[in-house]
Amino acid sequence: MATADAIAALQERFPELNLEAQPLMPARNGEASDQLWLRIPADRLLEVAQFARDDPRTKFEQLCDLAGIDYLNFPDAEDRFAVVYSLLSLTHNHRLWLKVFVNDPDPQVPSVTGIWRGAEWPEREVLDLFGIRFPGHPDPRRLFLPEVFQDHPLRKDYPLHGKGERTSFEVVRRDSV
């Protein structure tokens, strides 16, 4: 599988990171999964991403998705948050996932907008909903929620009904101007 070549290239270039590919989901039907992820420390992310995009053996030109995960109350979790990068190579037709784990307080992951421009809005979404900051982002503001919103709602400790933000508005009556 071509992904194995890409992983081998990454392991050769970054031996000190001890990269070990794990499947995203447990294998079914005895087949090995071809959806593999690598754990990358946050401070090395930019180098790894640059290499992944540019090296001819990996050539991950497209960042398909960028998402945040909150592992609160997850049984095997060691860290609170993760940011997942879903990479696709159009030349070699293989995919790879990178996960960067971060913790409270002040979780930060360097922004990859300099490498893949399409990361701009997904990183804003993660900032808006999880509170993970991306230093180096060209436009770090909330994407969905109003600017005055205080919390980060997709964290698992945020109540579904909110904390009163949906009821604190001015009442316009029939005789108001």
Partner 1 sequence: MGLNVAAATDASIQGSFGTTRLDFVVDLIKKYGINWSRKNSLWPMPFATACCGIEFMAAAASRYDIARFGSEACRFSPRQSDLLIVAGRVAVKMLPVLQRIYVQMTEPKWVVAMGACASTGGVFDTYAVIQGFDQFLPVDVYIPGCPPRPETVHEAIMAIQRVVREDGVKSSKERGRGLQLRIEPPQMMPGGSQLREGSLGERASGPVI
Q: Smaller CB distance to partner 1: residue 117 or 156?
A: 156
Min dist. Cβ of residue 29 to partner 1 (A): 37
Quick check: 68 and 154 in contact, CB under 8 A? yes
Distance CA 40, CA 25 (A): 18
> Which of 29, 73, 75, 161 touches partner 1 (CB under 8 A)?
161
Q: Smaller CB distance to partner 1: residue 106 or 170?
A: 170
Query: Binders of partner 1: how many residues, by CB under 8 A?
Result: 22
Binding map of partner 1 across residues 101-140, x = CB under 8 A, - = no contact: ----------------------------------------
Binding map of partner 1 across residues 139-158, x = CB under 8 A, - = no contact: -----xxx--x---x----x
Min dist. Cβ of residue 69 to partner 1 (A): 20
Per the omega criterion (within 30 degrees of 0), is the bond before 105 cis?
yes
32 belongs to the binding site for partner 1 (CB under 8 A): no
Q: Smaller CB distance to partner 1: residue 78 or 175?
A: 175
> Which of 30, 105, 135, 173 touches partner 1 (CB under 8 A)?
173
Q: Which residues sit at the interface with partner 1, rule CB under 8 A?
A: 144-146, 149, 153, 158-163, 165-167, 169-174, 176-177
